[in-house]
Every structure is written in C-alpha cells, then in structure tokens.
Amino acid sequence: MKGRKVANKKYPVIWLQGAGCTGCSVSILNAVSPRIQNLLLDELVPGQQLCLIFHATVMAGQGEVVIEVLKDAEKNRKGGYVLVVEGAIPTAEGGTYGSIGETNGKHLTIQESVEELGRSALLTIALGTCAAYGGIPAAKPNPTLCKGVKTVFDEKSIETPVVNVPGCPPHPEWFTGTISVILFSGVEALDLDQLGRPKLFYRQLIHENCPRRADFDKGKFAEKLGDAGCLYKLGCKGHYTYADCPLRQWNNGVSWCVKAGSPCLACVEPEFPDGTSPIYEKITFEDLK
C-alpha cells in the first residue's frame, strides 16, 4: 500500500469514538504482548513509540481543553499523527446524531471531526466493523445513516490511507500487529486485501482452520446449541468469514466463539449483521447475493 514515509520517533495517536459501544477500546485493553501499559508508556519497538494524545475513555482531561488537543494536532502536526476511528460515522441530518464535544459554542460532530482530522492524518485506522464498514449502527433501517470511514473519505475526496481492522470487536493483536508493521516496516509495508484489511490477519477462512472442520468433513453436524459437531446447521458463518480466530484464539488464548459452542457470526465482514443474519440460521452463498 502506498503511504507517506514514517520518520517520527513518537507517533501521536488520536483515537475518536463514533457511533459505537467502546468494545473495540475494551478489546485493546485486553492485549497481552504488548500489554496496554506498553502501548501507552513504552517504546514498542526500539526507538519508536506511540503517544495517545486523545482518547475520551482514558484521558485525564475533559471539556474544552481536550478539544484544543484536537485543534492543535490538526494545525501543527499535519501528516504527523495516526488517527484511530472506533464506531461508525452518523451522517444523517448533517451529522447531528453524534457529537464528540463542543467548540466555540457549537457541537463538534463525529462526521466533522473524522473528516477534518482524517484529512491531516498520516494514516487512519478504521478499528472495528462499525468504523470499517458501518456495522450494527448501519444495520437496516440505518436510522442515523451510519457509514464507515473509507466511504466518508471517498465522498469527501480525502486521500489519507485507511487501514480497516474489522471485528465486533477486533482481536487486540489485529490492532497491535498492524501498529507493529507500521513501526517496523512503514505504512507502505501493510499488505491489504480488497476490503482494506491486513492480509496478515484476515487471509484465511475460519472454516479452513476450524477445529470442528473434521466434523464437517465427516458430515457430523450439531443439531442444537451445546451439541458436539460442526455448527454449520446452527448458522455458523465460518465458511464465509476471513479471520485467524481459530489459530490465534481470544483473551490470551483461552477460547473463541466456535470453541465455546457458538456459531461464527461473521463479525469481521462488511455484510455483518444484515447479510449474515438470522445468526442461528445457515446461509448459503445464494443468500448473500
């Protein structure tokens, strides 16, 4: 992927929360190696570190002073910061369904902030399925006309590169791994698939690496939740979903959806949730057309 060269030792990070649930942030707090403490305080790779200058859930300040942080970055750090967007962007009624604060007596809408900060960012990471593709807030009938970051950028001719790291929520290592590629090898080293996701994490189908694959091959299917066997008939979307959950597993390797007896929800895919539901009904490729 073509991007601007990275030279700064410290990467200021601005983390904006749109129409979402904070679940992506909570998932990143679950990172194991590096841990969140390392992300916040340490050089992640020798000589290079992040500096989280804006994140509404963790930062000490509030009110006007933190909005100033955004204004300052936009003006004085052009092309020098990474923008992370979590949550979709509500665009109905001029963006008024979501605001992140107030400036000069006016609401600063999510849409306006993502556009303005996106325009001057080195790179934008659309973290989670809502930020990448719209996700649940954009589900039918999409009451607030939510969109993903790339769609909004394209509509406004914003050329800043966008990396999608989808998932509801995304695995913390999909985020820390993406950051690692940027720090080690530069933005241009990120190898993305046609949906803007790093192939490093989203290259293989869940189905390819699923521990219940042998059951599928033998035709042994679970008929109801709690049964042993392949979960295809219970709505598992693993044959449609590109992510490395079966290999990486979740929460420090403790478990993951299919291991716990739940069908894969296809939560990393742009069609989630409308095209991939009912969740507990099997879908065929015909259903998705």
Partner 1 sequence: MSEKIRIDPITRIEGHMAVEAVIDDGTVKDAKSAGTLFRGFEIILQGRDPRDANRLTQRICGVCPTAHATASALCIDEAFGLTNEIPANAKLIRALIFGANFLQSHILHFYHLAALDYLDAASVVGDLAPFVPRYEGDYRVSSEVSAELVNHYLRALDIRRKCQEMLSIFGGKMPHNVGIVPGGVTERPTEDKITNFLWRLNEIRDFVVNSYIPDVIAVAKAYSDYFEVGIGCRRLLAYGGFDLPSGKLFKAGIVAPDLRLERFAKEHITEDVKHSWYVDSDSGKNPTAGRTEAELNKKGAYSFLKSPRYKGEACEVGPLARMVSNYVQDSSETKELVDSLLGELDAGVDALFSVLGRHAARALEAKLVADAMAVWLQQLKPNEPVIVDSKIPEQGTGAGLTEAPRGAVGHWMTVKGAKIDRYQVITPTAWNASPRDDKGQPGAVEQAIIGTKVKDRDNPFELVRIVRAFDPCLACSVHLLDVRGSELGVFRVV
Q: Which of positions 229-268 make contact with partner 1 (CB under 8 A)?
A: 250-252, 254-257, 259-262, 265, 267
- State the DSSP H helix or E strand holding residue 162, giving kind and residue range, or none if neither: strand 162-165
* Residue of 1, 34, 40, 119 interacting with partner 1 (CB under 8 A): 40
> Per rule CB under 8 A, is residue 56 in the interface with partner 1?
yes
Q: How far apart are the C-alpha atoms of 57 and 100, rounded to whole Å?
A: 12
What length is written for the chain? Answer: 289
- State the minimum distance, in angstroms, from the CB of residue 102 to partner 1: 4
Decide whether 76 or 251 has the Cβ nearer to partner 1: 251
Which tokens hold the place of 248?
């990486």
> Per rule CB under 8 A, is residue 30 in the interface with partner 1?
yes
**Which residues are CB-neighbours of 24 under 8 A, at least 6 positions away?**
86, 87, 127, 128, 131, 167, 169, 170
> Per rule CB under 8 A, is residue 169 in the interface with partner 1?
yes
Give catalytic residues, as residue numbers. Answer: 21, 24, 130, 168, 207, 210, 230, 236, 245, 257, 264, 267
> Per rule CB under 8 A, is residue 225 in the interface with partner 1?
yes
Q: Note if the bond before 161 is cis, omega within 30 degrees.
A: no
Q: Give strand pairing partners of 230.
A: 221
> Per rule CB under 8 A, is residue 107 in the interface with partner 1?
yes
> Per rule CB under 8 A, is residue 137 in the interface with partner 1?
yes
Judge whether 51 and 12 are in contact, CB under 8 Å. Answer: yes
> Per rule CB under 8 A, is residue 41 in the interface with partner 1?
yes
